[in-house]
Amino acid sequence: MAKPLQVEVYNPNGKYRVISTKPMPGTQWINALIEQDCRLEICTQKKTILSVDDIITLIGDKCDGVIGQLTEDWGEKLFSALSKAGGKAFSNMAVGYNNVDVNAANKYGVAVGNTPGVLTETTAELAASLSLAASRRIVEADEFMRAGLYDGWLPHLFVGNLLKGQTVGVIGAGRIGSAYARMMVEGFKMNLIYFDLYQATRLEKFVTAYGQFLKANGEEPVTWKRASSMDEVLQEADISLHPVLDKTTYHLINKERLAKMKKEAILINCSRGPVVDEVALVEHLRANPMFRVGLDVFEDEPYMKPGLSEMKNAIIVPHIASASKWTREGMAKLAALNVLGKIKGYPVWSDPNRVDPFLNDNAPAPAACPSIVNSKALGLPVSKL
């Protein structure tokens, strides 16, 4: 058993014991729990990633629910421990749940929550930021200035690529991919090519309408095309990846597909690290100095493959796509309400991507769990609100 961990306790006499494995942004999530008679214990141990034994220690003999993080390994041992302690609810403070063995949760009757619907715009904004930073070589130029190397303007100094009139490619045109596409099309007047198994009708209508607006004002209209294959996108455009991670998307971008891209293309990944073969990417960056990449996620997070950090044509940031104040506070509140809702016996919200009613500061949150990924497996009722 792991040693006792430092915790901060709120509402010590509360009826329901809820654990948060990490401090989370804001206070709304804390208030939502303690106002509903929860004793909240927040682990404040100075340790980035808690081990399974650490979390078992936190759970103890009685625990009604846990709010955890995507860095934690939620499998058989943890769900067994939570079930033995009387717990019926766990929520990731994340939209993804690759760290969760949902089958194990089903086995022990534990509801698994996540936090979709609140990350779309902020993730798309980071993808757009990385696109602009890579195209204009902003990080390289910043490092150059800080090193005291600038001694005057030169015609060839940090020449990058113009986005206006170029083609942005999106692989996976779901909510985030479509939001990113809209930003790039409207913000930089880029044409769009996308690949998705499902037609992105709303996105297509948006680009068409914006193209008509530009044409009516005497400008070159933007265009869109739905590619028949992913390779078509790779060959024609800069790329932003937004697929989910599963067996079909593991190493989606590998050595062969990187070779199909333009020599000066820009690859952006704010989705899941293992979608990109990082070893192949390092080799490609080394062989093609004008090829650039912006990464928010990594194959073996928090580690990077050897050589990646040395690449001047790579912009690397530590999984901060959702790191806007509004989004992170919203994620914390949604995770807390998932756990609270299950404890209280509330039904599951019918549309997990429509979360505004839960984040309204001026009205009580609906009596529902915002998003439970295994609600059907557990036979949980759906809210009629």
CA 349 – CA 372 distance, rounded (Å):
8
Strands (DSSP E) found in the chain:
7-10, 16-20, 38-43, 65-68, 89-92, 111-113, 167-171, 191-195, 224-226, 238-241, 266-269, 292-295, 314-316
CA 317 – CA 308 distance, rounded (Å):
12
CB 314 within 8 A of CB 285: yes
Q: What does the chain come to in residues? A: 385
| Closest by Cα among 46, 93, 31 to 67 | 93
Residues that are catalytic: 272, 301, 319
Query: C-alpha distances in angstroms, 51 versus 4, 55, 99, 171, 382?
Result: 13, 6, 13, 35, 34
Chain centroid, CA 85 distance in Å? 31
CA 188 – CA 163 distance, rounded (Å):
6
Q: What would the two tokens of residue 201 be?
A: 């009708």
For the sheet with 266-269, list strands across it: 224-226, 191-195, 167-171, 238-241, 266-269, 292-295, 314-316
CA triple 210-216-218, angle to 5 deg: 105
Helix (H, G, I), strand (E, B) or coil at 87: coil
CA 294 – CA 319 distance, rounded (Å):
11
